[in-house]
Structure 1
Amino acid sequence: MINNIAELLEALVKAEREMLSKEDIPHRVTIGDMYEELTAEIIQRSFFDGLNLNVVTGSFIENPVGVYSKEMDVMLIEGEAKRIGRTRRYKVSPDQVIAVIQVKKTLNKQQLSSAYENLKDVYDISEWDQCPTYTQHLWRNSFLQICNKDIVDRQKLRTDFADKTEEQVFHMLALEAAMPIRIVISYEGYKTEHGLRQGVYDFVSDNLSTVDEMKHGYSPLIFPNLIINEGISLIKGNAQPYVGPMIDGQWAFYFSHPKKPMVHLLEVIWTRLTYRFNITSDIFGEDLEIDGLNTLFLANMVNVDGIQAWNIEYVSTSKERLEQEIVIKDWEPVKLSFQEYALIMYLINIGSINNREIKSIFGKDDENFVSDSFLKHLVNSHLIVVDTIGQVSLATTECKTMHIEGNGFFAADDRSGRFSRWLEKMKGTPKPDNT
């Protein structure tokens, strides 16, 4: 489904761009308006009827004390916007805003800086600590996917972290879940993935902090969720939905991809809609392939002369390497040993167990059985979490398991229906063990 709609949007963009290129209008504001209207139509076609969603252009976010944001090119909102006087501008409250899109006809370092500063204002305009329940679900799933830990520890919000980087990722993902999606869309500019990566690197390099001059607003949180320039995408790995893992104490938080910009746009927006409106994730279709991404930035917290700040590392990748075909992998559930399978089934049926008691499930008296090493595979596979006192529980929303004769034991979160679709593809329509 998502690929079909993305193809329609790509065709729309191509046709509209050809039409706009024939308009011989030297007035820059009018040209900007034309591309904003094109983008508004793309966003309008990217969501579903019946959700009370609307698209507004050239309008503002008004926070609870009456302060206005900078003008936002395009916003996807829930509910109706309020017209400002006799103008064609509107104002909306922060809680209405689902996505904010800044539109550029041509992207370069100057225009990238302009779009970045506008989208930064989304963070500045309001407090994001009073949020509806769905944002907590999104936060939890994001932190689980990135750090293999729950946001809750011993029935309270987590206060124990591996290091300062993990702690900051924890707080940052809470804000990512609460804030609107921020997107930059440009129709011309950088011609290659390598060129766009270099352009963003140059922009970041121009805004590095020093001990003598701190430049605020350039942490991973403020980076747009998505930048689209012609056919190329830059994507944030905040697990909403694209996952940037922790690698040796650094967070891989920004990626590039040379194709499928409308697929990326839809996946970012639809992921938020599934949480906000409790829509089943099967809207994404079969979803049994995983596209590779090219890492652009890693980040970790550092302490320089008593000042804590984010250190951002550019992952330099040659033009030749980027021009190679992106690897597409088939999605598969987690393959389990029999003992891992038994533990997952126990957790599905009972709820939780302390890691000191796990060997009792298998009738083990072996003193050499080490629960921590036994659990490592399941933790890294995002199936379970272990809190600081050793209590083991499921990390999934809807865990399903299956034994396939000749293939072994499997498990996955079936919240999206992906595991069920995989089973149908593998072998008819077998019934999961726990349904």
Structure 2
Amino acid sequence: MITNIADLLRDLMVKETENLDAQTISHGPTIGDMYEGLARDLLDRAIPADLDVRVVDGFVEGVDGKLSPQMDAIIVTGVGKPLPYTDHFVWPIHDVIAVFEVKKTLYGEDLADAFVKMRAVKRMSEAYVESGIKVTPRPTFQAFAKMTGHYPKSIVGVDALPDEINYIFHTMLADQLSPLRVILGYHGYADELGLRKGLLSYLQDQGGLAAGFGPASMPNLIIARSNAILKMDGHPYTAPMHDGWWHVLVSNPENPLRILIELLWNKLGERFGDVFPSDDNLELERLAPFLDAQLSKEGDRVGWAYNYHPLSKEEMQNSSPPSWSPESASSVQIMVQLHIARRGPLDVRDSAFRKQVMSEGVDPDILIADMVERRMIAWIDDHTVRTIESGTLFAGFMPSGDGFVTADANLLSPWMNRELDKRKPK
């Protein structure tokens, strides 16, 4: 569903951009107004009509009463204050769902301007959270478990973990509680490689990648033409850590509106508690690694070190989008998954569990370690594991005898149909 909506909006965006490009107006502010208006129209079409949500432009108001720089598009709920004799609004930070900085042409100077505005909204959100709001961190616990293999019982449990992953959790939680932050450029960097090089150059010009530009300060999405750079903060995009590195930024050359709708609907779902239709397209986004991050300590100073992936244009072009499939699983792994799903967390020292697994000729410690490594389950503490996904767990065997397990019912049905079709005689 998301892919279909994104394709329709992409076609509309291309058509209307061509129309705006053909206009002969040379007045800069008016030109900006046209492209910003198109962005607001596209965003309005991407929001389900039955929600108390609207798209405005104007300023975000912090808990101290100070205002952000003027934002080109703001997705909001609740009530804001109209600015007299204008179409602009002032909206309180606690009711801001997403902010957008729109550029007709996105290059280095435009990135710099957009980063300043995005960081201002991020700081407003941090001040709002620190003012004492009630926090429901479940989405971040789940995303953190997918990334690290740890699903602590509480934030206190997170603070007992090593700093290297403790900081990651709090960065991911900050993004859950902050408005979605997007930079949208209709023109500019011509391709995926150009956008990657442009952003890398901008970050390096700030005095080093770790100089005040930690993962928390990065926008959630940067779009230039059909190319995008996405932050993998777990809401909803995430990937397991590799050798202690967090895959923070990735790039994509396909329809960026598909990613934008995923981000926006996830944010709306977390805000309103509704279950939004997920995509049923088995072909996933092709996400090329761009920047990895790792906590860096020098004495009392704590910051972030970055690792850049210098992929060539050919390497990215030759990389195919992955296809979704449920997690492959042995009968013993399925047994353990279903046991935990039905009865709750499992103490891996439990004698009955160990005896049953060993009766199948499997070492229980190796079994659990492998399942955590594959993010089928996650550690609560040193001896207890639990499921990562919430909701119903689906498990079974194909005619070939291959086992599978997943919590994604939306994709399981088309996957099974595709697999069974492969086995039909031609």
From 370, 373, 395, the equivalent of 1:377 is 370
Structure-2 change in CA distance of 1:42 and 1:329 (3 Å): same
Aligned-residue CA RMSD (Å): 2.4
Partner of residue 179, structure 2: 180
1:25 Cα deviation after fit: 1.8
Structure-2 change in CA distance of 1:113 and 1:365 (3 Å): closer
Alpha-carbon distance between aligned partners in 1 of 2:326 and 2:37, rounded to the nearest angstrom: 42
Cα offsets for 1:120-149 (capped at 9, x unmatched): 11111233255566x522212221121121
1:370 Cα deviation after fit: 4.6
1:64 Cα deviation after fit: 2.3
Cα offsets for 1:375-405 (capped at 9, x unmatched): 1232133332222241122222022222334
Alpha-carbon distance between aligned partners in 2 of 1:285 and 1:244, rounded to the nearest angstrom: 18
Does residue 144 in structure 1 map to residue 156 in structure 2?
Answer: no
Cα offsets for 1:380-433 (capped at 9, x unmatched): 33332222241122222022222334323321123x6333443455459xxxxx
Q: Residue 90 of structure 2 aligns to a residue in which SS?
A: strand
Structure-2 change in CA distance of 1:192 and 1:32 (3 Å): same
Counting only pairs closer than 5 Å after superposition, residues 24-423 of structure 1 correspond to structure 2 as 24-57=24-57, 59-125=58-124, 126-129=127-130, 130=132, 136-152=137-153, 156-161=156-161, 163-208=162-207, 215-216=211-212, 218-281=213-276, 283-324=277-318, 326-357=319-350, 360=353, 362-363=355-356, 370-398=363-391, 399-414=393-408, 417-423=410-416
Contact 2:226 / 2:256 at 8 angstroms: preserved in 1? yes
Cα offsets for 1:290-336 (capped at 9, x unmatched): 23211110111112354211112221112222333x41222111222
Alpha-carbon distance between aligned partners in 2 of 1:262 and 1:411, rounded to the nearest angstrom: 30
- Specify every segment of 5 or more residues in structure 1 that has no aligned partner in the other structure, as ranges: 429-435
Structure-2 change in CA distance of 1:342 and 1:227 (3 Å): same
Cα offsets for 1:342-390 (capped at 9, x unmatched): 1122112211221011653653678x96533211232133332222241
Alpha-carbon distance between aligned partners in 2 of 1:330 and 1:132, rounded to the nearest angstrom: 39
Contact 2:146 / 2:388 at 8 angstroms: preserved in 1? no
Query: % of aligned pairs identical?
Result: 25
Partner of residue 11, structure 2: 11
Query: Would you tell me which structure has more helix in proportion to its own residues?
Result: 2
Q: Residue 238 of structure 1 aligns to a residue in which SS?
A: coil
Q: TM-score, normalised by structure 2?
A: 0.91
Partner of residue 432, structure 1: none
List structure 1 runs of 4+ shifted beyond 6 angstroms: none
Partner of residue 424, structure 2: none
Structure-2 change in CA distance of 1:389 and 1:166 (3 Å): closer
Alpha-carbon distance between aligned partners in 2 of 1:258 and 1:364, rounded to the nearest angstrom: 45
1:215 Cα deviation after fit: 4.2
Cα offsets for 1:40-67 (capped at 9, x unmatched): 011001110111110002x111122311
- Specify every segment of 5 or more residues in structure 2 that has no aligned partner in the other structure, as ranges: 422-426
How many equivalent residue pairs?
A: 416
Alpha-carbon distance between aligned partners in 1 of 2:351 and 2:251, rounded to the nearest angstrom: 42
1:112 Cα deviation after fit: 0.4
Q: TM-score, normalised by structure 1?
A: 0.89
